[in-house]
Amino acid sequence: MRLRLRTRVTLAFALLSLVVAGTVAISTYAFASWYLIGQRESSALTRAALDSRAVAAYLDAGLSPSDALTQIPSVGLSQPMIQQGGTWYTSAVTMQPDDLPVPLLSAADPIGASQRFSVAGDPFYAVAIPTGNSMYVEVFPLRDLHITLTWGGWILVALTAIAGILGAVIGFTAVKRILGPVRRLGDGAQRIAGGELNTRIDLTGDPDLDPIAESFNDMAQAVQTRIARERRFTGNVSHELRSPLTAVLGTTELLESRRERLGEREASLIDVLAHQVRRMAQMLLDLLEISRIGNDDPPLFESADVAELCREVVSARGLDPAIVVGAEPTIRTDNRRFERIVGNFVDNAQHHGQGVVQVEIVKEPGTVSVMVDDAGPGVDPAIRERLFEPFTRGDKAKQTAGAGLGLAIALEQSHVLGGDCRIEDAPSGGARFIVTLPAPDGAV
């Protein structure tokens, strides 16, 4: 299993740090250890040599070993001892002659020997030098040095650990710094995908990162321009079609009103023509509307009797106004857009939902919702969001009017009014299309 980038980099930095610091620490300790102990031993040897000669002189002068010992200037904490004729003489009592290591004494002949040893855990360094017919031994304690080195060692270990942690922190920060811009790029792309086409990445002045940001911004601009151009094109084309469509629609409706004067075959031909022409007209109006939302006339907010408007929408389509039920609130909204939204829902129910079952108005604190239920099979939750996109239609929606824009228009207009649309399941089994609009309590 591969770890994520951040972990890998952090670990790498930590490891590197540990290795470097560890190497330095170990070398430092080894060298210090070698040097300090070496120094101590060397000075001990010198000291012992000097002292042994002094002792030899005193002994030759006839002093007793005990007296000779007292003559030695005590420097440091060393313990001088003299063995003469099988007896040990020593002034201090820190170490018993019995504790002296045997190999030291046997190796002392003839020129002397030294040895490091420990007694009850304490380290010592003893130098044994034969003087005439006696043996001079001086014992130097190494405890203090040992403590110093131990302390030093642990400090180095701690420092190494800290270095390791610092390394990890630096690694972590470094990754964050690099991932930061990358993440911003990702967020930008996400926002563009979500529709915010003017998203741009700010340039930071960093010559390594700015080219990427610039490329992103260029791409976003290109996409935005292309979409705007296509919208304008659609708008222009649709606009040009207004006049011819007016003529076609008008003449067709007139023919329709003169049906009785036509033969049966001609009458049915007119019916077909009229139906198709109305389809075309609706498609054109939808295209025009969706290409101009945001650029057309601003919404006029005034008091609207929601139930009344709904009943009107329903009657205009030849349905029974009694299917409008529920609350009878008055809200402030743009009447035309409101009728458009509810109308589109009703049309959708009629054409794709096998008929409108009811239109229910619900008043809740701060909002008013209009719910249009149909008698169809309902809408699969997986495609509910997509249905509100332009040109997306359900499976069976081919023969009927509309270019698949009705719901997209309803959604966008609901946003213009400060509300939103969604689809749920109707208790009766079909689909429920809901538009919710703001209705601040007490404001009407």
Partner 1 sequence: MVRTVMVVEDDDAIRLVLRTNLEDEGYRVLEAVTAEQGLLIMMDEKVDVVLVDLRLPGIHGLDLVRSLRATSNIPIIIVTAQTDSHDVVAGLEAGADDYVTKPFVAKELMARIRTQIRRVTPHDEEEDSTQALVCGPIELHPDSAEVLRNGETVPVSRIEFYVLAELIGARGRVLSRDYLLRKVWGYGNAGDGRVVDNLIYRLRNKIEEDPANPQLLTTVRGFGYRMKA
Assess contact for 172 and 10: CB atoms under 8 A: yes
Binders of partner 1 in range 410-439 (CB under 8 A): none
Token reading at 178? 């690099």
Phi–psi pair at 126, nearest 5 degrees: -115, 140
Distance in Å, CB of 251 to partner 1, minimum: 6
Give, as one character, the DSSP assignment of residue 202. P
Rounded Cα–Cα distance for residues 278 and 272 (Å): 10
Distance in Å, CB of 382 to partner 1, minimum: 35
Rounded Cα–Cα distance for residues 128 and 136 (Å): 6
Which of 48, 281, 324, 357 contacts partner 1 by CB under 8 A? 281
- The two counts, helices (H) then strands (E), for the chain are 10, 12
95 or 359, CB closer to partner 1?
359
Distance in Å, CB of 245 to partner 1, minimum: 5
Q: Give strand pairing partners of 368.
A: 363, 437
Position 200 contacts partner 1 (CB under 8 A): no
Distance in Å, CB of 241 to partner 1, minimum: 9
Binders of partner 1 in range 319-358 (CB under 8 A): 332, 335-336, 338-339
Contacts of 160 (CB under 8 A, 6+ apart): 18, 21, 22, 25
Position 129 contacts partner 1 (CB under 8 A): no
Which range binds partner 1 by CB under 8 A, 94-102, 217-225, 301-309, 412-420?
301-309
Q: Which helix (H) or strand (E) holds 185?
A: helix 143-193
Position 279 contacts partner 1 (CB under 8 A): no
Position 361 contacts partner 1 (CB under 8 A): no
Which of 187, 296, 364, 385 contacts partner 1 by CB under 8 A? 296
Which of 260, 264, 297, 395 contacts partner 1 by CB under 8 A? 297
Torsion of CA 161, 162, 163, 169, to 10 degrees: 120
Rounded Cα–Cα distance for residues 9 and 15 (Å): 10
Distance of CA 281 to the CA centre of its chain: 50
Phi–psi pair at 329, nearest 5 degrees: -85, 165
Position 276 contacts partner 1 (CB under 8 A): no
Number of residues in the chain: 444
Assess contact for 3 and 105: CB atoms under 8 A: no
Block residue for tokens 């969001």: 385
Compute how many residues bind partner 1; rule: CB under 8 A: 38
Ranges of beta strands (E only) in 226-333 are: 302-305, 324-326, 330-333
93 or 254, CB closer to partner 1?
254
Distance in Å, CB of 412 to partner 1, minimum: 16
183 or 317, CB closer to partner 1?
317
Rounded Cα–Cα distance for residues 211 and 203 (Å): 9
Position 318 contacts partner 1 (CB under 8 A): no
Distance in Å, CB of 413 to partner 1, minimum: 13
173 or 246, CB closer to partner 1?
246
Position 300 contacts partner 1 (CB under 8 A): yes
Rounded Cα–Cα distance for residues 369 and 350 (Å): 20
For residue 38, give Cα distances in angstroms to 41, 105, 216.
Answer: 5, 22, 67
311 or 432, CB closer to partner 1?
311
Position 133 contacts partner 1 (CB under 8 A): no
Distance in Å, CB of 389 to partner 1, minimum: 24
Position 367 contacts partner 1 (CB under 8 A): no
Binders of partner 1 in range 213-272 (CB under 8 A): 239, 242-251, 253-254, 257
149 or 285, CB closer to partner 1?
285
| Binding stretches for partner 1 (CB under 8 A) | 239, 242-251, 253-254, 257, 281, 284-285, 288, 292, 295-298, 300-304, 309, 312-313, 316, 332, 335-336, 338-339, 444
